[in-house]
Amino acid sequence: MFRDRIRMKSLWSKVVEAETAAALIKDGMIVGMSGFTRAGEAKVVPLALAERAKREKLKITLMTGASLGSDIDRMLTEAKALSRRLPFQGDPTLRAAINRGEVMFVDQHLSETVELLRSRQMGPVDVAVIEVVGITEDGGLIPTTSIGNSATFAILAETLIIELNLSQPMALEGMHDVYIPTRRPYRAPIPVMSPDARVGMPYIPIDPSRIKAIVVTHKGDSCSTVQPPDAETRAIAGHLTEFFKSEVSKGRLTETLAPLQAGIGTIANAVMHGLIDSPFHNLKMYSEVLQDSTFDLFDAGKLDFASGSSMTLSVARHDDVLSNIGRYKSRLILRPQEISNHPEVIRRLGVIGINTALEADIYGNVNSTHVSGTHMMNGIGGSGDFARNAFLSVFVTKSVAKGGAISSIVPMVTHVDHCEHDVDVLVTECGLADLRCLAPRERSALIIENCVHPAYRDVMRDFCREALKRGGHTPHLLEDAFALHSRYRATGHMLEQPAAQAAD
Amino acid sequence: MFRDRIRMKSLWSKVVEAETAAALIKDGMIVGMSGFTRAGEAKVVPLALAERAKREKLKITLMTGASLGSDIDRMLTEAKALSRRLPFQGDPTLRAAINRGEVMFVDQHLSETVELLRSRQMGPVDVAVIEVVGITEDGGLIPTTSIGNSATFAILAETLIIELNLSQPMALEGMHDVYIPTRRPYRAPIPVMSPDARVGMPYIPIDPSRIKAIVVTHKGDSCSTVQPPDAETRAIAGHLTEFFKSEVSKGRLTETLAPLQAGIGTIANAVMHGLIDSPFHNLKMYSEVLQDSTFDLFDAGKLDFASGSSMTLSVARHDDVLSNIGRYKSRLILRPQEISNHPEVIRRLGVIGINTALEADIYGNVNSTHVSGTHMMNGIGGSGDFARNAFLSVFVTKSVAKGGAISSIVPMVTHVDHCEHDVDVLVTECGLADLRCLAPRERSALIIENCVHPAYRDVMRDFCREALKRGGHTPHLLEDAFALHSRYRATGHMLEQPAAQAAD
For the stretch B426-459, pLDDT in tens is: 999 999 999 999 999 999 999 999 999 999 999 9
Which positions ≥6 away from A163 have C-beta within 8 Å? A34, A42, A43, A44, A45, A129, A130, A131, A132, A214, A215, A216, A217
- Candidates B16, B15, B18; CA nearest to B3 is B15
pLDDT for residue B13: 98
Q: Which residues of B touch A244 (CB under 8 A)?
A: none
- Residue A33: which of A77, A88, A95 has the closest Cα? A88
Residue A348 has what pLDDT?
98
Query: Is A496 an 8 Å CB contact of chain B?
Result: no
Region B27-43: mean pLDDT is: 97
User: What residue type is assigned to position A80 of the chain?
Assistant: K
pLDDT tens, position by position, A18-67: 999 999 999 999 999 999 999 999 999 999 999 999 999 999 999 999 99
- Helix, strand, coil shares of chain B, percent, nearest 5, are 35, 20, 40
Contact B343 A388 (CB under 8 A): yes
Which of A104, A186, A471 is the closest to B100 by Cβ?
A471
Q: Is residue A442 annotated as a catalytic residue, yes or no?
A: no
346-375 of B, contacting A, C-beta below 8 A:
347-350, 365, 370, 372-375
Taking an 8 Å cut-off on Cβ atoms, the answer to whether B344 and A349 are in contact is: no
CA–CA distance, B73 with B52 (Å, rounded to integer): 15
Helical segments of A350-439, H only: 383-389
ipTM over 0.95: yes
Between A188, A343, A374, which is nearest B472 by CB?
A: A374
Nearest C-alpha in B relative to A250: B120
**Cβ atoms of B275 and B239 closer than 8 Å:** no
pLDDT digits (tens, 9 = 90+) for A408-467: 999 999 999 999 999 999 999 999 999 999 999 999 999 999 999 999 999 999 999 999
Q: What is residue B327's predicted lDDT score, i.e. its pLDDT?
A: 94
- What does the pLDDT average to over B306-314? 97
Average pLDDT of chain B, as a whole number: 96
Chain A residues touching B99 at Cβ < 8 A: 471-473
User: Over 70: is that where the pLDDT of A229 sits?
Assistant: yes
Q: What are the pLDDT digits (tens) for B167-207?
A: 999 999 999 999 999 999 999 999 999 999 999 999 999 99
Angle between helices B266-274 and B231-249 (to 10 degrees): 50
For residue B498, the model assigns a pLDDT of 78
Q: What pLDDT, on the 0 to 100 scale, is given for residue B27?
A: 98
A174 lies within 8 A of chain B by CB? no
Flag the least confident range among A268-277, A491-500, B280-289: A491-500
Indicate yes or no: CB of A185 within 8 angstroms of CB of B350: yes
Question: Which pLDDT belongs to residue B497?
Answer: 83
Option in A109, A119, A365 nearest B391 (CB):
A119
Residue A499 has pLDDT above 70, yes or no: no
Cross-strand partners of B160: B128, B211
Count how many residues are written for chain A: 504
- Looking at chain B from residue 366 to 425, which residues have their Cβ under 8 Å from any Cβ of chain A? 370, 372-376, 380, 384, 388-389, 391-392, 412, 414-421
Check if B466 contacts A (Cβ < 8 Å): no
The answer to whether the CB of A393 falls within 8 A of the CB of A386 is yes
Share of chain B above pLDDT 90, in %: 96
Q: Distance of CA A479 to CAs A476, A496, B26, B200, B486, Å?
A: 9, 17, 44, 52, 7
pLDDT of B501 above 50: no
How far is Cα A79 from Cα A51, in angstroms, rounded to an integer? 7
> Over 60: is that where the pLDDT of B372 sits?
yes
Say whether pLDDT at A504 is over 60: no
- Helices (H), ranges, A58-123: 72-78, 92-99, 113-118
Going by DSSP bridges, is the β-strand pair B409-410/B359-361 parallel, antiparallel, or unpaired? parallel
CA-nearest of B384, B283, B391 to B346 is B391
3-state SS assignment for residue B257: coil
The CA distance from A386 to A110, in Å, is: 10
Residue pair B34/B66 in contact by the 8 Å Cβ criterion: no
The proportion of chain A whose per-residue pLDDT surpasses 70, expressed as a percent, equals 99
Task: Report the length, in residues, of chain B.
Answer: 504
Cis check: omega of the bond before B185, within 30 degrees of 0:
yes
Interface of A with B in 192-211 (CB under 8 A): 193-194
pLDDT of residue A503: 39
pLDDT confidence bin for B499, thresholds 50/70/90: low
Residue B227 and residue B131: Cα distance in Å, rounded?
Answer: 27
Partners of B143 in the beta sheet?
B132
Q: Is the pLDDT of residue B500 over 60?
A: no
At residue B95, φ and ψ (nearest 5 deg) are: -55, -45
pLDDT given at position A502? 45
Query: Which of A471-485, B93-107, B222-236, B364-378 is least confident?
Result: B222-236
Alpha-helical (H) ranges within B157-259 are: 231-249
Q: CB neighbours (10 Å) of residue B457? A: 18
B250 shares contact with chain A (CB less than 8 Å):
yes
Beta strands of A27-116 (E only): which ranges?
30-33, 60-63, 82-86, 104-105
What's the confidence (pLDDT) of residue B504?
39
Q: Nearest-CA neighbor of A181 among A213, A152, A212?
A: A152
Query: How is residue A148 annotated by DSSP?
Result: B
What is the separation of C-alpha A119 from the centre of its chain, rounded to a whole number of angstroms?
Answer: 24
Q: Which chain A residue's Cα is nearest to B424? A: A121
For A348, residues 6+ apart whose C-beta sits below 8 A from its C-beta are A192, A193, B181, B184, B187, B189, B344
The secondary structure of A193-231, three-state, reads: CCCCCCCCECCECCCHHHEEEEEEECCCCCCECCCCCCH
Interface test with B, best of A183, A342, A347 (most B CBs within 10 A): A347
CB nearest to A370's CB, from B194, B414, B474: B474
How many angstroms separate the CA atoms of A158 and A126, rounded? 5
Determine the Cα angle at A167 with ends A161 and A168, to 5°.
75
What integer pLDDT is reported at residue A375 of this predicted model?
98
Categorize the per-residue pLDDT at A226 as very low, low, confident or very high, splitting at 50, 70 and 90. Answer: confident
**Environment class of B194 (CB within 10 Å of its CB; exposed 0-12, middle 13-18, buried 19+):** middle
Substitution target from A374, A438, A443, A487 for chain B, most B beta carbons within 10 A:
A374
